[in-house]
Structure 1
């Protein structure tokens, strides 16, 4: 038993060392000079793996500290987030409901908390959408939201709701009888970027009541099945308010492209100038190129058609009858061509082409998920282009990206790019190490020019292979970028427990089996804590500003506390920092600057009070 006890103690010590390495042997730091990977130690310049002594404490596998093994971390999904504050009468509005919609499809929903704050999450917005905000006792609001295909967080600031007015009236037919279940929409006659809107429906006798209508002079639009839409101007008055609807008419349109083919998915807008706000309505053409506007209240309309591949077209004084009106749509110029593999063979499946202005810098790291896929025989047609000089960029699996000769497009007629031949490319292999251990699970992104520190830190929050030309290191720490065109490139490295790093420049040749380049990463550190008021209440969404004394980053880092007042920084380079907290509601309330120093692998806790 006396013999076994020392053996057990040695075994426990070795197991603890292996566990510590599993927790910390990951990250991203500085790159070294290009040299083939030999598997040796990083040498004297390697980042130390042990925390310094003193008041600092080494990282521990605490819950929520994010100290998992590198190879156990899955890249989070890219999401779009919208944050802000809903206020009314100068105070936050708790319990307000928010929804993000597009074509009446709900993309995301949220409710404000007791402080009026909201956080609405959805998939990245590939197209524009509308944010609808509703709260009891206030006028509903609609705000247009621009596309955000890359996702990320958008701060919407204060969303201000107004108290409304009460509107009572009736919707009648031509004989003075009430129309049941008619929709009544009330909005300002001159809306701004935020549209105040209220919607109600009539009772069986045609009467309606809008409790929270926009204040002031408004436009009231009524529509009902079988009747034409009617819009009237309303100003608060003691006299009864009535809207009379006449039988509606239908405007039928057919959008014709070259050789009589239907134009699908075009945006068609009709407008009647005689109405208060133009009576504008919009719809998309169907798969047959047809669109019908029912329930119109005017005999003639102005029509405008827009489509990314066709020139805008318009017609005036189009009669709304049962006869279909044909609108000719002229396409924008296009570029045609063919892609061929060596020996004249067809290109591999997944080959894609994309037209770029000839003056744009060439993309030697083109993505396979952009542009248009060529046909099985290699032929392609890129339409919807404007007059000018263009180049066609080609990306094909197993081949280096390539471009065509410049193609000149005029106002009419198509251009021809000729035959674009594919060529085999080179590769760039990197081996990531932290101390003496390989770094698996790190993400590496390719750049044609040296990325700035601001770019490195801005892109670290966007994880996943679909965001740029990215690869992930394997269990041995190796990562390879295949099928590259010859030239100079830089690489950004994102790994857990380390700050973002860049490596380069690297020369890419034509050899697809070049030796791996060793990149040594430095272990980072981070700070976390809680922001509270002088009374001890946690402060949600408090702003924190972190400045590095040595100015290696060249810019301050901004953080925000969560709903419980907690904050956690990204992995920072070791060094001396200053942190200060303040609130957006009252920037004069500040915690005052606090200096601290972080060592490699350290995770420090620092609470701040405003």
Structure 2
């Protein structure tokens, strides 16, 4: 241990975390801290049992915090009688997940920290068994098997499957919930095989018989440098249509040999992208390769450059270094996601850093702060990188002290959590156990908690525009977001006053009267021009909610998985509204399938269902399963516009589809790209302007993620769009601009847009 004053974190299963102060002298070999007494602290207590009431020992109970404390989790085994204690919790709502051998996994239970007598019933698990063979009916000895409920909805994309090894190709997947499942089997060198609607019964085993795997497609090629010389021992990774943004680490890949030649086998038919990485080069990629096993290997050539170098430093105003921060480097215009994440660099003791072998072009350099599980951006720089040259990106951490008082109806508001988020802030999350938080010493970056007198303080690293978010764990309140501009000064005073006018109530199932957990609510202030953003959040385990607002007329929206969305109008005065009872009815179901241009199912594709209502567009989202099927179960009795998007696979749009309609198929059609050059009113490059697609052939596509780009330092932005007549919207602060272009399949269309002041005032 280093000498000096330390704070040690102590953590043990079943107890709350505790911090212990210690001081080690330069010549001390050992320091005796004495006994460290741990307490249980805030906990969730309960019992896991079967349908007979018998306790289930050795079950694993996980608790993951939602909402305000998302990212904090803990777990514990059950005792001999099924009892469990999840201790050392923070205040808030936790989602519970329970795993036990022989039982179906439970993941639909929420509980508040401090809850007692939480009763969890596990149903007997079912199983699926079968035999995996190749085209010659010989057993496949090593493979992966994944089984997912066929009727789930939402964004979950399953997982890579459970590895199996068997000399006779036999497998069994156990502990499945009752109901139809989609079974996916994959093995190196083979295409994935998918079985739909495998019926699983509690306590029984469904035998699917023989699962036959067919050899996949092959891509062969070379990895070379810009002089055409072979690059040996480069790792070449593949991405298929539909899973561009999902990485499990088991996708087909290969390594170039001593002559630069590589081969990747077992590819799914359709379009793929490849990326080559080598420690002595910048990464290189190729896209839109068409793989068809019937036509033989697809040829590819990947060119790597030595790339450029980025150097810089991270220091305070006085020139002293800043510790505990990281540097992330990524393409400004975005690129297909390969591997475990963007490259990270950690500044040295003097605050300096260097990143080598960076791809040419416009690059975003981001300064990150946080722990090993979560990093948040605090500053960013855009630099132009050229091969063989060195670009510089420096960061001065100004540590501007933001302080003030938080009041509610004129009274101090102790316990209010104040967070500031920059307009271009981002966050990176990682797996692994949570760290033991060390007691903070002094103001913290971007976050502070109000004291008994309502006073708070926090630090921001640079001046600029921020969004202020205020929340309160003690009474589970949500508060309207505000925008402020922090000046370049040593300190900035920011008092936050709230009216004390609140909206509270409960969300329940209309048929059963049971509370609806994790229902999402949004309160929108009505304006003459429509709705403007207000405040929103999620119901607690008991279905309760509470929101703060200013007096006025509002629309309150509520939605939850499996329920149709509802909206009601409210008029708030100084007394607010309490005791609201929002009754949700079960939603209508809309199912369909996404196919590529060759009629093959495409897994992992994002699909949106959008309807226009009350001057705003309401959207639901889903992701296709391994058999290309998607399911929405939270829709109302309206017609919806369906949109599916995959940068590699293409785009599909179908207008006016009603829930319950059968035979819904979205067939992906190759798209194109737009190459935008953006200027401000003075003709200068509009760096960091945001461009997005508003409509395709007159149909709004704004809810779907992916149709957007950010301008680099040259004011250039290029991104994929559907084929057709495209309406583009560009914005940067108060500036805005539009353009309409017609894009053909596999075509890149240039467009030049000059931004104007959106308010109509003369631009400066």
If the TM-score is normalised by the length of the shorter chain, which range does it land in?
0.3 to 0.5
Structure with the largest fraction of helix: 1
Larger Rg: 1 or 2? 1
Larger relative CO (CA 8 A, sep 6+): 1 or 2?
Answer: 1
TM-score normalised per structure 2: 0.34
